[in-house]
Structure 1
Amino acid sequence: MSEQGKVPPARRRGLADEVADRIREAIFTGTYAPGAQLREVELSGVLQVSRGPVREALRVLEREGLVHCAWHRGTTVTTLSPEDVAELTSLRGALEDLAVRRVIELASDEDLASLDKVAALMERADDEHEMVRLDIAFHDAVFASARHQRLVDAWEGIRCQVHLFLLTRIGRNTEGYLGRIPREHRELVTALRVRDTDSALELFAAHRRHAVDVVTGNTGPS
């Protein structure tokens, strides 16, 4: 093979990936809230690594939409604008509608049991951050049950931003949240189990709409 045609050697990125995992987890657990500054020097001290892997990890998280890097402000955890919320919700809705239709058509009893399992775990969630994590896990299971790999890939492309959106939602209001979310997801599972497409689509839409209303201040705490 000529010099021009050679493939360059692979780089070892394990440490940067691990750093990205740690920072992502800190965002998801509320250690770093939307708008919080992420300083390379502080992160390298906390994580006991050099600044290089931290810088690379922050680039990974920026591509995921979890952080925003600006030369005059440094790096901050993303704060979703009204436009961000609208775009994310419309795209999520389009993907989820397709997923729901395919789940009703194709899901096995085992697939539906996996949804039941996550919904049951929600009823025992200890706090809002655990509930958000289970909410995301439920929708992971919905997309997996749709049996459409490119649809799963599209969901993975916005998954972290949806997680951030749900963190924003609990940052606005948590009254009644731990009781409402398990109930909503039980209703979603029931509609999928009886293969009622119209009801399932409406319930999933209402589920998304209520979260948006809380974030945008268009509803009360119920």
Structure 2
Amino acid sequence: MSTFDIVELQKADRRGLAGEAAELIREAILSGTFPPGAPLREVELAASLDVSRGSVREGLAVLEREGLVRSAWHRGTRVIDLTPRDAEEVYSVRAVLEGLASRTAVGRVDLDALGQLVEAMTEGVASGAPSADLLALDIAFHDTIYLASDNRRLIESWHALRSQVHLFQLTRIRLGHDDYRAVVVDEHREILRLLRAGNPKTVARYAEEHVHTALRALLLRLPEAPA
């Protein structure tokens, strides 16, 4: 999308308008309505969401803190570009968080809940469910592990990165659809097995490698940033 076209988005509720504006714009970004690099103009967004420009501005500030958008003086706000450097930064931080979360969750996490998510992934792959649906289960799997860590700052760190991870994984799927579907079940089933086995160091090591594997798969297909 080289120019901004007015699109119809779901109207925001009158309560908590800034938060709901952020949620609806986030959904539009993750659905591809606003692709990487697309401009996000307050006037058009306010008209589409039927809220004030102030609510949109606050909502965009939330998304900027999540790393989904970037603002620059005289250049406005845009969805982030997905460059190899961005991917390496996001996934390197995520690998550290995943290792700590998995290690801390040993003996605490709801293994049955994780098992249900893995089975839902298995059924989704077998039935040909959209890869975006599989990714939602993937994210929910990791959410469950972070919550089980009972570490507030770790959970907050994950949520600060979560939307970027979601966007990068959607890009990975778009560029390598079959690759993601081929590994999503086995990799999460292995994390579950290691959590059941109860060795914190082993599960942390595999969780980190799980992230590095995802990064390598993305970098193989992600175009180089222009000089």
TM exceeds 0.5?
yes
**Structure 1 residues without counterparts, runs of 5 or longer:** 1-11
Aligned residue among 46, 49, 57 for 1:47: 49
Correspondence for 1:203: 206
Correspondence for 2:196: 193
Contact 2:95 2:212 in 1 (8 A): no
- Cα deviations across residues 41-70 of structure 1 (Å, max 9, x unaligned)? 222222122322112211111111111112
Structure 2 length as normaliser, TM-score? Answer: 0.80
- Cα deviations across residues 138-185 of structure 1 (Å, max 9, x unaligned)? 111111122222221222222222212212222322124224212211
* 3-state SS of paired residue (2:177): coil
Larger Rg over CA atoms: 1
Contact 1:28 1:129 in 2 (8 A): no
Structure with bigger RCO (C-alpha 8 Å, 6+ apart):
2
Number of residue pairs aligned between Structure 1 and Structure 2:
205
- Cα deviations across residues 111-144 of structure 1 (Å, max 9, x unaligned)? 1112112222222442122222222111111111
1:218: Cα distance to partner?
7.3
Give the distance between the partners of 2:38 and 2:52, measured in 1 at CA.
21
- Cα deviations across residues 163-221 of structure 1 (Å, max 9, x unaligned)? 122122223221242242122111111111112345423432332122111221179xx
Give the distance between the partners of 2:72 and 2:221, measured in 1 at CA.
31
Correspondence for 1:8: none
* 3-state SS of paired residue (1:75): strand
Identity of aligned residues (%): 44
Correspondence for 2:225: none
Give the distance between the partners of 1:14 and 1:151, measured in 2 at CA.
26
**Structure 2 residues without counterparts, runs of 5 or longer:** 1-13, 223-227
Correspondence for 1:144: 147
Compared CA separation, residues 85 and 58, structure 1 to 2 (3 A): same
Alignment RMSD: 2.3
Say whether 1:116 aligns with 2:115: yes
1:99: Cα distance to partner?
1.5
Give the distance between the partners of 2:180 and 2:85, measured in 1 at CA.
24
Contact 1:172 1:214 in 2 (8 A): no
Give the distance between the partners of 1:215 and 1:190, measured in 2 at CA.
25
- Structure 1 residues 1-222: aligned runs within 5 Å: 14-104=16-106, 106-107=107-108, 111-125=110-124, 126-217=129-220
Correspondence for 1:3: none
Compared CA separation, residues 91 and 186, structure 1 to 2 (3 A): same
